[in-house]
Amino acid sequence: METIERIIAEHSFFACLDQAFLNLVVGCASNVRFDAGSYIFKKGDEANAFYLIREGRVALEIFAPERKPIIVDTLEVGDILGWSWLLPPFQWKFSAHARTGVRAIALDGKCLRAKCEENHDLGYEVLKRFATIIERRLEATRFQLLDVYRAHRTA
């Protein structure tokens, strides 16, 4: 039987995480769904969660004046969506657009931040794991902006 506990424990993001820490994380988790075409969050909105994508595709977008949204990255099953909940001012840096129907596990950012403050070892583990995601997203953004710049110069 699939439970939130099992899904989180088997997710690569939480690999080798101490069972006591997993129990703390699970206390902040819930199942969520998003319809195709809906926005999971928009840039500038308050960031209070992150998501383990279980089904569907999500486009991370940035907006530029007088342009269509620029897709920075597309996330799929197994990916982690959202890191802005982790750092003040707790506002989304990108918009997340559900390209298909999406099922995910949502982890409440306020809940997890509080648990990380209470247990700095958990906080360090979470921060290390998110540092890798932040680095990947910044690299994807850089590559996408280079493509946009290149296309603009040849137009």
- Looking at residue 136, which CATH number applies to its domain? 2.60.120.10
Strands 29-34 and 80-81: unpaired
pTM of the model: 0.86
Mean of pLDDT values over 45-72: 91
What's the domain range around 112?
4-154
Please write the tens of the pLDDT for every residue from 130-155.
998 888 878 877 777 776 666 656 65
Is residue 39 within 8 A of residue 97, CB to CB? The reply is yes
Angle between helices 120-154 and 19-26 (to 10 degrees): 70
